[in-house]
Amino acid sequence: MLIHAEWVLPIASAPVRDGAVLVRETRVRDVGPLEELAREYPGDPVERHDGCVLLPGLINAHTHLALTVLGGLLPSVSFGEWLPLLVRAVRTLTPEALEASVALGARRCLEAGVTVVGEIAYSAASQRIAREAGLGGVFFWEVLGVKPGGLGRALATHGYPARAPDIPGDPRIRAGISPHSPYTSGPGLLRAAHARTRAEGVPYAIHVAESHAEAELFEQGSGALAGTASRFAMGLAPGSGITPVRYLDDLGVLDGALAIHCVQLKADDVDVLAAKTAGIVLCPRSNAYLREGPAPVAALEAAGTRLALGTDSLASNLDLDLLDEARVVRALAPNLTAERVIRMMTTDGAEALGMGDSFGSLAPGHQADLAIFRCAAEVADPHEALLGCAGRPSLTNVMSGGEWRVRDGRVAEPSDAGLDAIIERARETARAALA
Ligand SMILES: [Zn+2]
């Protein structure tokens, strides 16, 4: 099938006006001007999308889909005040509620044109549910608060696959490991988790320098996270006068890491992150919700870090709209072009997750993941049309792995219907716990 759009953005190559993508089964086979491709592949039907911009399925490099159910329930307060509330709310969620939450989150991703996530997973169920909904990506099994020797057991208990990074039955999904943060995973656990990811060749992610409280903990040993650190991060002796980035680098656990947030940085940190990490996930709206940040986007860009975008969870964001995240990044770093910011949620996001070989650009052989947006007005510059604030584009169609998942703006299957009652019950319980 040839899928046409007024503008096709392959990302890996120049935009094509009146372009088309040739999709055969699950993969992209060719990209170019419609006229040429129609001549070359006369047997393939053409589906036209006039007035639309087509680009690769977007990469939301940091999500917690299992927390989607908490949308709008937690207040916008500082990270140190928010974290205990989050813990209180999460404790009320049953396995059934968590699974419904992942399903709902997967739908919200598709509605935003996102087909790939860097998901913090709490069980094997999340990757199964997200995969059935049509998402690909890396599912980072989260560990915290266990002794280094307990890592294997903690992972096994939560269904971490025996032959990571591959998850049997799906080339679109990979497993990774994420010790939650330097203040909830002690130095021994951080080293053990990092060593295991290196040995298995799987991606490794960690929340880093997200808050003032985290910076204060490592600088002075005090602040809102001191109690959490003493309970969870076994073996940590905080207050050594260094930054969280420096602490992790001294431990040797930043190499190849996907570093999430990176808001509270000192000048040297930026160079360390550029030299060591696989990428940084900017989550500007989550940082603003928690009154932290913003991350020094221009400095990170100037240092040559690989930048990806994430929405984080609905416990600290308004929605899972990645284009809105991109608009905020542009506002924070006005020198970045729209094209540059779009790379963050396509090729660079895919590379940061270690999946650049299959996702993030429309190259032959890549997964057939496409997002199509209808633009309100005549499109002179397709990048600006996507990120401009006036006359925002609306999502019309999403394909993942060669299968249409959103048609005419509506998610195809499964429907929300079965989820509604579970979600509503879970929200009631969480609301009561927070009251
Ligand atoms: Zn997070």
Q: Quote the CA–CA distance of 249 and 245 in Å, as a whole number.
A: 6
DSSP 308: E
Domain 1-435: which CATH number of 3.20.20.140, 3.30.360.10, 3.40.50.300, 3.30.365.10: 3.20.20.140
Residues whose CB is under 5 A from ligand 1 (ion)? Answer: 312
Interval 14-44: pLDDT, tens: 999 999 999 999 999 999 999 999 999 999 9
Distance in Å, CA 329 to ligand 1 centroid? 18
Distance in Å, CA 423 to ligand 1 centroid? 21
Residue 414 above 70 pLDDT? no
Residue with tokens 């639309």: 52
Strand, coil or helix: 369:
coil
> Is there a contact between 268 and 181 (Cβ–Cβ < 8 Å)?
no
Distance in Å, CA 42 to ligand 1 centroid? 47
Nearest to 329 by CA among 353, 298, 306, 303: 298
Interval 267-312: pLDDT, tens: 899 999 999 999 999 999 999 999 998 999 999 999 999 999 999 9
Q: Is 401 left (phi over 0), alpha (psi -120 to 50) or beta?
A: left
| E strand or H helix at 22 | strand 16-24
Distant-in-sequence, close-in-space partners of 221: CB < 8 Å, separation ≥ 6: 238, 239, 240
Distance in Å, CA 313 to ligand 1 centroid? 7
Distance in Å, CA 45 to ligand 1 centroid? 43
What's the confidence (pLDDT) of residue 169? 66
Going by pLDDT thresholds of 50, 70 and 90, the confidence category of residue 415 is low
Distance in Å, CA 8 to ligand 1 centroid? 32
| Every domain of the chain and the residues it spans | 1-435
Residue 407 above 90 pLDDT? yes
Distance in Å, CA 41 to ligand 1 centroid? 45
Distance in Å, CA 62 to ligand 1 centroid? 7
238, exposed or middle or buried, with CB in 10 Å at 0-12, 13-18, 19+? buried
Distance in Å, CA 344 to ligand 1 centroid? 18
Question: Average pLDDT, whole number, for the chain?
Answer: 95
Distance in Å, CA 430 to ligand 1 centroid? 19
Distance in Å, CA 141 to ligand 1 centroid? 12
Distance in Å, CA 7 to ligand 1 centroid? 34
Residue 379 above 90 pLDDT? no
Section 383-411 average pLDDT:
92
Interval 35-89: pLDDT, tens: 999 999 999 999 999 999 999 999 999 999 999 999 999 999 999 999 999 999 9
Tokens in use for 24? 């055969």
Distance, CA of 162 to chain centre: 24
Interval 146-177: pLDDT, tens: 999 999 999 999 989 877 777 766 789 999 99
Output 287 or 128, whichever has higher pLDDT.
287
Beta strands 114-121 and 58-63 are parallel
